[in-house]
Structure 1
């Protein structure tokens, strides 16, 4: 193994071996716990309204905690975060505010501005920036104005309220530095960006998560001289040191609000002990000036020089990222890549959910056929209590299966061991259903996400091989064994006719189609999904790759590898069955479409040009000759199978042979089909936008696809921004924008196909331009379009911020990057969840590959 390159690499190795628990504390505290499924004890499953933002300051949570730019231990027993008060707000700013799904005109939406600027993978250094207005926060205005806007209207954002006019706000920068694994320094610097002096109360707050309400010993916070001692049966004793008076209360329903009521309303506060405390700093900061406070939470008795610790950790963070980020990137690209990785690392959150206990508290017996209709009853076995990479810390403070898989690619750039653990997590017995299903997300664990865990496993395995010179085959074998169970679940549950045509659920493409694919279809029809079937073809290929890799050292995997070759063949024939009246492949259009089959046997092609039709192209895997040479008989058996069934399976009848370098290709589409699909995909009037591949072709802007049945009218039109459809709660937006994870799948396919077809295969990029490129060059050009979403263009503006003058021009805003959920299909403006660094953080991977 190569020697560690920087002090942070040393800490990662100490953490990996268990020598030092550097990751025992981190940013594992969500920005929102209210409104989550776990905290929902309503009779109708209305999580948003059962536990609201307004109630959060006074009601104790049962399952987790939230806070502003906070940290906690890895089981979230003791939490530290920042509370603020500007002297004008009706409440302390203890957590981020946003609109619920019914309040926002495009679904739930956080109405705050904060930015994750830095984090090392062991969280030895952390940095976050929050913009806090000096006038009263416009809670009512945000709710009422958005409530009266329709789906075709823009969202009403915090900047639109005028609250930041004349720069009357504080830039609050929160940093953490670890002097040791059990010694954490917190530094808060507040910059008054306005012209006049303004008051600011800084209240770093320490509290215990309320676990004693369910039984067990109650921890304590007690005053000891000029510090607070935190005592916990499992954590031991910690000291909280600050140069300010301490305020105390209990983290229980009712008493929890006592500090808020004391600071804001002047209510008496006499407690000198409790389970929640805040160090109350009262500042008056002149216009253009700043103030800094430093605190310490430690289990150590040793003295430390806080300034020296921060200086050292910042230098070490810089040294670490100098090794991670390619030196050839310019300063702006480095800035974007580092903030993308920081956002991913800040979005690691502690997630606890004992579903069986939760159901008991709802008085639901999972075995009672007449039990109340409560979500997630089939998942009563699940007992979660882990630090998990979340899509984001506010809108999605819970795991999502396919998001998590996509996170692992960029995470592996900085912490391959954490990425490996995340790949395995949902495959563990405590998460995975006994029938083999992987839980999707807490609103409905039984929903279906695309099966991309195998892709993530391969990606992380290959990344470790790159770092350490050898991949972890034991890890790969464990994952493979569990995925075999999941693959079988897919085959048994999502292929209702036994014809290898997979259907149902989100499959990751939400309302991209003309119907809600999780609901009954018009006329009792069933849907033959090109994307569902292509996902399974990809799953076969990834499993085949894993089997072949494991087969290098264990010949028993050869037969399993052949299983996936044969299964791929059956899926391929399902896409293009010989003699079918309506195959999914349309020869005239040169594109794949979903097909609806009616009860009387008639079939109707649904001619929507979308990612659904691009995905089959992505099912392409190339095998190196040296890999196959180590699998005696595998190629011969696969070719014999292809020869035997070639008359029934077109893709096998025309299986391309080895190329000049001995590489072999397994793909759903042949060279002719590939050219036809690419011609459409790379057309700027169809899929190719200035910032990546759109989810739906721009062709449908003027040519919407329409379908009428039994008096009902259905329509799909190209919508470059938010969807006007009410499907999936009204906040699913796949009808035109650019989504980074799907673009990453396309990039993978292009690089793979180039390895087989080589430089001789050229295609116009863009279509009609007369400029031809090989597929690797196409992938790189597409990658540069994706990354340009966040980069300053020649005019100095970042497309992600659209027409926002503040973000484009203000020196205190323009280099603070938000990694949105998806992006405008024509201009790249950020849309949806504003902090979903999760899968959009894959821009870090794109920058590393394509610049």
Structure 2
């Protein structure tokens, strides 16, 4: 990579010369409705701590805000608050529907965009679109509640609140003059045809740590007298408290009024009990919206403060607010370098992205913009995640400190009391999923490794640390149930990141990182073998395995038939896991010969598990169906009978991803392994007829170990590339479109279990209704399939061609197929001939409005026919 200023900051951060990542976008978009904040008797997190409570109730474990930042332990927080003169609520956080309120589960109902960020957050840009009419809270709740699961969600754009452009664009930009010197520029623009009022309250506050036992002394924000400027000091020095901060100062370049209160719960409003302070968390709401001057502290101090900018913007008018958050005490020169710093940091951000953007992307400004916004979204989705599970369980009467006789039953995560999470972590979506998920995080690290390999390695290592990884070896899934099972993709992400970083470093690679990860992944692999191979036959289960409602049954619960499932995806994932461990062991063995024994171990595991999917001979109780040329789950019944559940889904395509390629010469470096591998095959000749073994060299002498041999590859690809089945205009669908006309129906006990093609939102409440694998395009699985095609091409080369699309008569190499699939996926986000981006669906404002059309949202998944974005939008 070309050296530049941002890369220099990354190097300084890695070498601990300067803590450039101390401040970042670490606030959640939603802290309410989370497991951490749930102290209910029945585990109903959504109703225990609601959006309506959030403005008045201090959080226990974290904070949220609009376009905000915090330090890396979230002691001190900064975010935006707005009021348009019409809303019933001061806008301090993103509103959305709770799980039971939406016709497709929880859903944010705001229009905000992560536009830009460098990996050290030396420059960041965020946009919030704020309507000038009263925010339609009730309309959104009531209309969505009236809609059924067969109807689309009712979104903010559907309410008409943006009609006639009666809204404000509010941009929030950050630029760092130093690791602890953050410049803030807020730009408000009236896009409407007439003048409109706007109150802007840049807000600084302390997370309420002092109310909890052992939380240390109470910090203070207090006014500083500075002629012509609004300024305050944040003081939190407590030598007994692990999260103590140096003094910070927030200053504004105008003499805006300062408001102060306490970040304390308004017990009187919520519970009818006495407040700890006369000045409480929702004081600014009461002051601005209701005109209650007594709500704020006249003594000009507290633990929450804001500068209050009341303005009326003419049609098309722009106003700019400048602030600085710094350990340096403000004076008359505080804003002298403000504009120069912003100009410099933006130029440096441009140089950083120009250096890593491929020339073909740079040549297309729309592609370059999409790529940069995509990476900005990944970087903005970092969040401080604090969850001391042992303490939380004690507080719920279910921890180790609670006497057995009084211990509550049915509390979440009761077996995970060892966990102590106090870190910045990559989130799937800071509103809809403001908690990490192990396999999501592993996928995140591939793009994040492009811009910040040090952060990516740290994140993968985090999940393997002793305070995350269960003592039995299980990786934590997500806070709603750490004991659930995510697909084992961590080893794959580890190896991919190692190779990306090795290329980035231009040396032998970070072998120590690889050794550490391998040592912990050994424990995790052993957990899978011991816990998820029910019969010891190398056939694996794992419950839903992240694929939610893809199967006939809820695979996380006991089957209505009794018995159990041999899962084609679970078993394929384990081949995939074993292959990646084999690759890691092979890489390490080049550096240290003792790892050669592990190469042998995982070679034997890979062959044994892969062979279980298609045993030699025609067997009706195995996953490979010779007649259909497809893999299926197998239902094993209590009476000993078995049958395939013939749902054609990506469960049956996942074996394509389990491909490991070894470059020429690698086997020569491992003579002991080569000898023992040959002996193993001599003892197990049955493995030779059911998979592709590395005994035959391919292009450039490469070797391949895969579940699928050439014949299976061709049969699976004929289905995958069939546009009437999986091959949509925008990627590989989760379920064959054949199930639209021909749903799969399983009958048992007088009831029917049905799987039909549903290209968009789920039509059932399984898994909350906000996730659907029965037709949409899911990006991570598509990425694995593109990668598999490239690996197959590396082995088979130019002479291996398949029909693409199936039935077209057009023959392509697997490289060309990978390119075609990649282009179909990419077109989700690019403007088409009409100016529309398929991911934006039929929202004409995104197509026609110059203030919307270059803004891109990155959804959780995409409609299997139209490509419209579905699910979480960030």
Provide TM-score, normalisation by structure 2.
0.94
- Residue 573 of structure 1 aligns with which residue? 611
1:345 corresponds, among 370, 376, 379, to: 379
Query: Is 2:276 the partner of 1:272?
Result: no
Listed as ranges, the matches of 1:638-653 within 5 Å are: 638-647=677-686, 650-651=689-690
- Residue 55 of structure 2 aligns with which residue? 57
Contact 2:421 2:467 in 1 (8 A): yes
Whole-Å separation in 1 of the counterparts to 2:859 and 2:110: 14
Whole-Å separation in 1 of the counterparts to 2:797 and 2:809: 20
Per-residue displacement from partner, 1:628-665 (whole Å, max 9, x unpaired)?
32222322321221222013663369665112522111
Per-residue displacement from partner, 1:163-189 (whole Å, max 9, x unpaired)?
001000000000000111111111000
Listed as ranges, the matches of 1:372-771 within 5 Å are: 372-470=409-507, 471-579=509-617, 580-647=619-686, 650-651=689-690, 656-771=695-810
Contact 2:396 2:408 in 1 (8 A): no
Structure 1 position 120, deviation (Å) = 0.4
**Cα pair distance change 1:652/1:70, threshold 3 Å:** closer
Query: Is 2:255 the partner of 1:230?
Result: no
Whole-Å separation in 2 of the counterparts to 1:558 and 1:469: 25
Contact 2:607 2:687 in 1 (8 A): no
1:320 corresponds, among 311, 331, 352, to: 352
Listed as ranges, the matches of 1:286-297 within 5 Å are: 286-297=314-325
Contact 1:642 1:653 in 2 (8 A): no
SS in 1 for 2:126: strand
Listed as ranges, the matches of 1:166-245 within 5 Å are: 166-214=164-212, 215-226=215-226, 227-233=231-237, 234-242=244-252, 243=254, 244-245=256-257
1:37 corresponds, among 26, 35, 38, to: 35
Contact 1:247 1:271 in 2 (8 A): no
- Residue 274 of structure 2 aligns with which residue? none
Whole-Å separation in 1 of the counterparts to 2:674 and 2:195: 76
Query: Is 2:265 the partner of 1:253?
Result: yes
Aligned length: 833
Runs of 4+ in 1 over 6 A off after TM superposition: none
Structure 1 position 795, deviation (Å) = 2.0
Whole-Å separation in 2 of the counterparts to 1:731 and 1:198: 37
SS in 1 for 2:189: strand
1:143 corresponds, among 129, 141, 144, to: 141
2:68 corresponds, among 67, 70, 77, to: 70
Whole-Å separation in 2 of the counterparts to 1:654 and 1:538: 15
Q: Point out the more displaced range, 367-376 or 347-356.
A: 367-376
Per-residue displacement from partner, 1:73-116 (whole Å, max 9, x unpaired)?
00000000000000111111000000000000000000000000
- Residue 241 of structure 2 aligns with which residue? none
Structure 1 position 466, deviation (Å) = 1.0
Contact 2:152 2:761 in 1 (8 A): no
**Cα pair distance change 1:653/1:760, threshold 3 Å:** closer
- Residue 842 of structure 1 aligns with which residue? none
Contact 2:699 2:797 in 1 (8 A): no
Query: Is 2:114 the partner of 1:116?
Result: yes
Contact 2:117 2:124 in 1 (8 A): yes
- Residue 844 of structure 1 aligns with which residue? none
Whole-Å separation in 2 of the counterparts to 1:651 and 1:486: 27
Whole-Å separation in 2 of the counterparts to 1:721 and 1:681: 19
Whole-Å separation in 2 of the counterparts to 1:645 and 1:689: 41
Query: Is 2:393 the partner of 1:365?
Result: no
**Cα pair distance change 1:634/1:654, threshold 3 Å:** closer
Per-residue displacement from partner, 1:217-248 (whole Å, max 9, x unpaired)?
11100111141010012212111101211100
Per-residue displacement from partner, 1:248-268 (whole Å, max 9, x unpaired)?
000010211111101110112
Whole-Å separation in 2 of the counterparts to 1:814 and 1:25: 31
**Cα pair distance change 1:653/1:622, threshold 3 Å:** closer
Of structures 1 and 2, the one with the larger relative CO (CA 8 A, separation 6+) is 1
Whole-Å separation in 1 of the counterparts to 2:675 and 2:724: 45
1:772 corresponds, among 801, 806, 811, to: 811
Structure 1 position 794, deviation (Å) = 1.9
SS in 2 for 1:505: coil
Whole-Å separation in 2 of the counterparts to 1:286 and 1:627: 70
**Cα pair distance change 1:427/1:653, threshold 3 Å:** closer
SS in 2 for 1:560: helix
Whole-Å separation in 1 of the counterparts to 2:816 and 2:783: 15
Query: Is 2:865 the partner of 1:826?
Result: yes
SS in 2 for 1:522: coil
Structure 1 position 627, deviation (Å) = 2.5
Gaps of 5+ in 1: 836-851
Contact 1:185 1:295 in 2 (8 A): yes
Per-residue displacement from partner, 1:572-598 (whole Å, max 9, x unpaired)?
221012353322111111000111011
SS in 2 for 1:511: coil
Contact 1:765 1:771 in 2 (8 A): yes
Structure 1 position 748, deviation (Å) = 1.2
Contact 1:643 1:652 in 2 (8 A): no
Contact 2:693 2:704 in 1 (8 A): no
Contact 1:432 1:439 in 2 (8 A): yes
Contact 1:720 1:824 in 2 (8 A): yes
Whole-Å separation in 2 of the counterparts to 1:433 and 1:6: 41
Contact 1:59 1:252 in 2 (8 A): yes
Whole-Å separation in 1 of the counterparts to 2:665 and 2:12: 35
Contact 1:67 1:82 in 2 (8 A): yes
SS in 1 for 2:686: coil
Whole-Å separation in 2 of the counterparts to 1:456 and 1:247: 47
